[in-house]
């Protein structure tokens, strides 16, 4: 009887550790990947053009942007690839593109990024594929 109780107690202990451990690892992993630039952003300036809208999605290691005509609802251009944020420098390596940036596929875009609340200002850095490019993005909620 005593051996049975010890076995039951051991199995319960193992079960509780086994169910708690994965959750702990997932939370720790997710917390390590949180970045203030992650999320959905809309380009607010300079204008992308009359009747056009552009949005960008940034995650822990990827980005994607799409520009579309708000009247015809047709995609005008899009692109994406890998991204990284280190301090006030944001990197994008364009892996695919359709439209005006197709010639930049494979290049590294480097931006100085400044975050003011829900506004992200990006300036293309010298030596980057788009030096001097100025963009203002507003976080979508």
pLDDT in tens, 49-70: 899 999 999 999 999 999 999 9
pTM of the model as a whole: 0.73
Whether 56 and 121 share a structural domain = yes
Whether 99 and 54 share a structural domain = yes
Which structural domain range is residue 54 located in? Answer: 39-139
Whether 3 and 68 share a structural domain = no
Q: Output the pLDDT for position 33.
A: 58
- Whether the pLDDT of residue 7 is over 70: the answer is no
Whether 68 and 134 share a structural domain = yes
Q: Which residue has the higher pLDDT, 1 or 71?
A: 71
Whether 99 and 128 share a structural domain = yes
Name, in order, each residue with C-beta under 8 angstroms of 17's C-beta and a sequence gap of 6 or more.
none
> How many structural domains are present in the chain?
2
Whether 102 and 133 share a structural domain = yes
Q: What percent of the chain has pLDDT over 70?
A: 77
Cα(26)–Cα(23) distance, integer angstroms: 5
Whether 78 and 123 share a structural domain = yes
Q: In sequence order, what DSSP letters do the residues of 84-104 get, joined into one string? A: EEETTEEEEEEEEEESTTGGG
What pLDDT digit, counting tens, does each position of 12-44 carry?
333 333 333 333 333 334 444 589 999 999 999
């Amino acid at each position: 009887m005593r051996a049975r109780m010890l076995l039951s107690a051991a199995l319960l202990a193992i079960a509780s550790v086994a169910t708690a451990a994965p959750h702990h690892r997932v939370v720790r992993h997710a917390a390590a990947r949180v970045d203030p630039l992650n999320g959905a952003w809309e380009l607010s300036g300079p204008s992308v053009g009359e009747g056009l809208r552009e949005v960008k999605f940034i995650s822990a290691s990827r980005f994607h942007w799409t520009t579309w005509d708000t009247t015809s609802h047709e995609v005008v251009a899009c692109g994406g690839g890998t991204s990284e944020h280190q301090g006030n420098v944001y990197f994008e390596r364009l892996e695919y593109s359709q439209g005006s940036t197709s010639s930049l596929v494979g290049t590294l875009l480097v931006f100085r990024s400044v975050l003011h609340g829900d506004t992200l200002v990006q300036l293309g850095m010298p030596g980057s594929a788009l030096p001097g490019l100025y963009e203002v993005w507003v976080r979508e909620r």
